[in-house]
């Protein structure tokens, strides 16, 4: 399979590099062309547009920020549908919502293009290490065909169900990440106020029942004062908004998730959205 990647950011670039190492990467595209230069030096074709990329690949992976960005990549001027032939597979690995996934699938089907929604979790560290967790929605037979692509940069690959189920599972994941991060930040604040040795606090939190992905990935960065993103606060705020929209539609009471969304909204309002999600304490 010839695979192309649109979006070479924090997550997309290392994912593309793993595809290159696996001999699957045929083309890349990024709006800021300089981010594609490392791939050009490796002999990978750098497309002029998503349409140009679509002409050269069997599978087009989209890894951009939000649903409107995916929509632009697919259906905007110079978008994937302009260059695609029937049978092309589009895999949206960004995070949005089940509604958007179904909408994309329906519109692409009119052009003879197949679709999977396959958001990931694990952050930049897992993307670099090739150990991402991938949640896939869509036709199961198509998912099985694309497993070699997912295995190039993923460790845990879960078929979630029909189109939209990958995004649904990711939103559940994001609520848990957000609340784990709130817990970590607030626990650390109390530890500082009590004058505890933070290295010893980290030792306890990393080995006992409080341990979580947030503790493992972000507590060491907090102790170093490193607020750089493995996952941006603005992106988590966006994901929580999608999750709360679904919960409210089903009349589900999710007070913890609602609180987390308000906290991350404050981060974005204060101009801190480009920091990592673990920098939440900056607003307290």
160-175: pLDDT as tens digits: 999 999 999 999 999 9
Q: Known catalytic residues?
A: 170
| pLDDT value, residue 29 | 98
DSSP 162: S
**Rounded to two decimals, what is the model's pTM?**
0.94
**What is the Cα–Cα distance from 235 to 213, expressed in whole angstroms?**
17
| pLDDT value, residue 33 | 95
Low-confidence ranges of the chain (pLDDT < 70): none
| pLDDT value, residue 134 | 98
- Judge whether 50 and 27 are in contact, CB under 8 Å: no
| pLDDT value, residue 171 | 98
**What is the Cα–Cα distance from 268 to 257, expressed in whole angstroms?**
17
| pLDDT value, residue 149 | 98
| pLDDT value, residue 278 | 97
- Which domains are seen in the chain, by residue range? 3-162 (3.40.50.720), 168-283 (1.10.1040.10)
Burial degree of 185 (CB within 10 A; 0-12, 13-18, 19+): buried
| pLDDT value, residue 46 | 98
The values of phi and psi at residue 247, to 5°, are -60, -45
């Amino acid at each position: 399979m010839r695979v192309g990647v649109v979006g070479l950011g924090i997550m997309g670039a290392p994912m593309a590099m793993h595809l290159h190492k696996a001999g699957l990467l045929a083309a890349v595209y990024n709006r800021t062309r300089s981010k594609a230069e490392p791939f050009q030096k490796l002999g990978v074709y750098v497309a002029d547009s998503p349409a140009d990329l679509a002409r050269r690949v069997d599978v087009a992976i989209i890894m951009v920020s939000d649903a409107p960005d995916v929509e632009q990549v697919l259906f905007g001027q110079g978008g994937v549908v302009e260059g695609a032939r029937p049978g092309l597979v589009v895999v949206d690995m960004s995070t949005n919502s089940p509604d958007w996934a179904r909408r994309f699938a329906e519109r692409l089907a009119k052009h003879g293009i197949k679709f999977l929604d396959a958001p990931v979790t694990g952050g930049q560290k897992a993307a670099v290490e090739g150990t991402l967790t991938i949640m896939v929605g869509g036709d199961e037979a198509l998912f099985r065909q694309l497993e070699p692509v997912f295995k190039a940069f993923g460790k845990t690959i879960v078929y979630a169900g029909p189109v939209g189920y990958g995004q649904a599972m990711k939103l559940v994941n994001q609520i848990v990440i957000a609340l784990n991060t709130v817990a970590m930040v607030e626990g650390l604040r109390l530890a500082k106020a009590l004058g505890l040795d933070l290295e010893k606090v980290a030792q306890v939190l990393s080995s006992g029942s409080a341990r979580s992905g947030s503790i493992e990935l972000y507590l060491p960065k907090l102790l170093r004062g490193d607020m750089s993103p493995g996952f941006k606060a603005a992106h988590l705020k966006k994901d929580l908004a999608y999750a709360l929209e679904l919960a409210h539609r089903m009349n589900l009471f999710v007070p913890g998730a609602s609180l987390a969304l308000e906290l991350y909204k404050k981060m974005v309002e204060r101009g801190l959205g480009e920091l990592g999600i673990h920098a939440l304490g900056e607003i307290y």
